[in-house]
Amino acid sequence: MTNKPQLRERYLKVRSMLSQKYLEECNKKITRKVIFFIEHYKLKRIGIFLSSKNEPETREIIKWCFNNQIEVYVPRCLTGILEMNFRLIKNFDTDIEYNPEYKIYDGSANTPILKNSNDLDALFMPLVTYDNKLARIGNGKSFYDIWIEKMNYQGYKIGLSQSTQLTNTPIITEEHDFNMNFVITEKEVNVAMVEEAEEEFDYDVTLWRFNDETIDN
């Protein structure tokens, strides 16, 4: 039996207790690390969420992408069914709208839809908690699990989180769950343990550079 509901409740409470000052400092550091990640891997097209309360703030990341010719696709959650798609946005004023059912901001229905999931170089996702193997617990609607399976997404899966959300309790996953490739926090970039690293990655050097404190200066 999965332990996800119990861990979700515990770490939603943890996140709700974080001070505004701490959240603001986390946002600055996570933003810098994500931008460094995008530059390092030469990403040209990303999927990324529009932050809700206490989630790492993504709008400065998105603004940087607008200014650096990076295509940005954000989720649009479909009302009445647990499915979402991704919409291309170029402007905060015209391309996003509030979704009252889920109390989040979505890509507008008037913006272009992402047809091929693997056109994305990377997908940046919110999470409530994660473990040492980078198993993820979200808000419980399974939007990302459903989309990744349905669209057969094969690219980078990257969680954005405060370091406080790491659990020492192994997450008991279900059949539809997936592990992330990276989790970026204000303290470090966590890399999933793999038996054989792909040739294009030097995990030791990459992890050291991403976690170099000079990135935060």
Which CATH number goes with the domain that contains 201? Answer: 3.40.50.10420
Q: Is the dihedral of CA 95, 100, 102, 103 positive or negative?
A: positive
**Angstrom distance (rounded) from CA 71 to CA 91:** 11
User: Is 59 marked within a binding site?
Assistant: no
pLDDT at 107: 95
More confident position, 81 or 104: 104
Q: 88 pLDDT exceeds 70?
A: yes
Q: According to the annotation, is 138 in a ligand binding site?
A: yes
The per-residue pLDDT for 174 is: 83
What's the pLDDT at 197? 47
Of the chain, the percentage scoring pLDDT greater than 90 comes to 76
Q: Is 100 known as a binding-site position?
A: no
**83 in a known ligand binding site:** no
More reliable by pLDDT, 189 or 209: 189
Which pLDDT belongs to residue 210? 59
- Residue 56 assigned to a binding site: no
Task: Establish if 22 belongs to a structural domain.
Answer: yes
Q: 132 lies in which domain range?
A: 4-210
Q: Which of 118, 159, 127 is nearest to 4 (CA)?
A: 127
The answer to the question of whether 45 is labelled as a binding residue is no
Considering the domain boundaries, does residue 177 fall inside one?
yes
25 versus 206: the higher-pLDDT residue is 25
For residue 126, being part of any structural domain is answered with yes
In this structure, is residue 216 part of a structural domain? no
144 is in an annotated binding site: yes
Q: Tell me if 85 is assigned to a ligand binding site.
A: no
> What does the alpha-carbon distance between residue 174 and residue 29 come to, in Å, rounded to a whole number?
32
Question: Is 142 within any annotated ligand binding site?
Answer: yes
In-domain check, residue 37? yes
Q: How far is the first Cα of the chain from the last one, in angstroms, to the nearest whole number?
A: 44
Residue 205 has a pLDDT of 42
5 is in an annotated binding site: yes
Locate all alpha helices (DSSP H) within the chain, ordered by sequence.
4-16, 20-40, 59-67, 92-95, 143-151, 203-210
* pLDDT above 80 for 60: yes
Q: What pLDDT, on the 0 to 100 scale, is given for residue 110?
A: 95
Stretch 107-124: mean pLDDT: 96
In which band, very low, low, confident or very high, does the pLDDT at 207 lie, cut at 50, 70 and 90?
low
Please state the domain count of the chain: 1
